[in-house]
Structure 1
């Protein structure tokens, strides 16, 4: 277990040292002497005051304008597009791994699973935050790890994040059972996708169409990061917002 933790930290440090983008939380350095394992290196990053996307949407849900949500979509898609151009696969894009700064700008964080080929058992062992199963592509829950198209797995997760940003609700919010994670796991294994949320703010048909494309069961049918970013930018321009 200790070796796995060290490998995960080392991998994240290695990835972050090569990334330079406004929508990626930068690595400032490392330090030891913190936490329950003070001998292990801790990553030093800038303080991001508004916390995770999950927390931000919960606290600001009624205060966010359509423009605010569009800008967050632009930020996340730009960060993802940059990663895939490096090329780096994030591997764990969730509402808990996106931070919101003082200007409302979204930044990706937590690259401990980046570029790693993993399946059901690895996902369960390494996803230390609650709710990761909601964002994971179906192929990552398969018993047959095979040659996984990891870039398209990130695209599935982006579709879930897009649904969350536009609706203010977690993906699979329609599942209300106490053991919702198990229910969601079963539905994904059966090929189901999250439902379109009702209520305010409503998701436009064009937005739901691209979300559905990102959530395709067959990974090769999902758009690329470039195609997703192009859609988001066209969306901004068509709404009269400066790109």
Structure 2
């Protein structure tokens, strides 16, 4: 059901300005309002089962991630919210809230009108304006100084260390999932494949570890999930930031989940 609390764009902006504010459920009506009903003109990113829109507040912007194929990827959505509710760090994209709305609607099916549950699954984040780290690796005209490269690498390491200290394994760390703010501060995002460990837990097993092949450790094939999988991905990213080149020549995506961000204003 849609959140019944009346939350206005101004309330959301106050949350954004208050670093101590905790994420909360957000009404679908609010997210529709600030994105102009998910207008294509407001779309700033897309992926296999998600689209990202810029939400306009009074003086600031937010990013609204709208899930598609919600029945198929319900577990990923719940897992992402679970992880995001636990994190608050300068090198992790700030999570403001979520919307899990289910509403009955009359839809046509095989020529007949049937009553169906329509799910809306959305997430709301701070708006990070300078695109993903990928653009800074592949575009040599950016001319990053060594000091900038060091600060970017340091920020990613600090963000990942924070996640691991909070028992979260990201599992899809790559330049596309690291956003850059106006000061070139990196922020880790996209927790749809992540896992939250219990205290003192160091590993778990799964039938299939999805991710992006070029950043996935060889041991992914055995289905064992540990913090070391993120460390391998981090190593590849560091090499790419230092050299300014893609480390591998192939790029085979193991998951259709990835969200690619275009540079904001």
- Using the size of structure 1 for normalisation, the TM-score is 0.60
Answer yes or no: is 1:73 the counterpart of 2:73.
Answer: no
For 1:108 and 1:52, how far apart are their aligned partners in 2? 10
Answer yes or no: is 1:46 the counterpart of 2:114.
Answer: no
Answer yes or no: is 1:21 the counterpart of 2:89.
Answer: yes
Contact 1:135-1:171 at 8 Å conserved across structures: no
Task: Please report the RMSD computed on the Cα atoms of aligned residues, expressed in angstroms.
Answer: 2.7
For 2:219 and 2:232, how far apart are their aligned partners in 1? 10
Tell me the residue number matched to 1:5: 73
The alignment covers a number of residue pairs equal to 164
* Greater helix share, structure number: 1
Segments of structure 1 that go 5 or more residues without pairing to the other structure are: 186-243
C-alpha distance 10-61 of structure 1, shift in aligned 2 (>3 A): farther
Tell me the residue number matched to 1:167: 243
| Residue 96 of structure 1, aligned match among 170, 176, 189 | 176
Tell me the residue number matched to 1:188: none
C-alpha distance 108-40 of structure 1, shift in aligned 2 (>3 A): same
Tell me the residue number matched to 2:19: none
4+ residue segments displaced more than 6 Å: none
Map 1:144-163 onto structure 2 (within 5 A): 144-145=222-223, 148-163=224-239
Contact 1:6-1:40 at 8 Å conserved across structures: no
Answer yes or no: is 1:134 the counterpart of 2:214.
Answer: yes
What SS is found at the alignment partner of 1:8? helix
- Between structure 1 and structure 2, the one with the greater Rg is 2
Q: Could you give the per-residue CA deviations for residues 121-150 of structure 1, whole angstroms, max 9, x where no partner exists?
A: 542xxx5xxxx211111111x2x32xx252
C-alpha distance 159-12 of structure 1, shift in aligned 2 (>3 A): same
Q: CA deviation at 1:97?
A: 0.6
C-alpha distance 32-10 of structure 1, shift in aligned 2 (>3 A): closer
Q: CA deviation at 1:61?
A: 4.8
Q: CA deviation at 1:58?
A: 2.9
For 2:177 and 2:205, how far apart are their aligned partners in 1? 18
* Greater strand share, structure number: 2
Contact 2:94-2:125 at 8 Å conserved across structures: yes
Q: CA deviation at 1:39?
A: 2.8
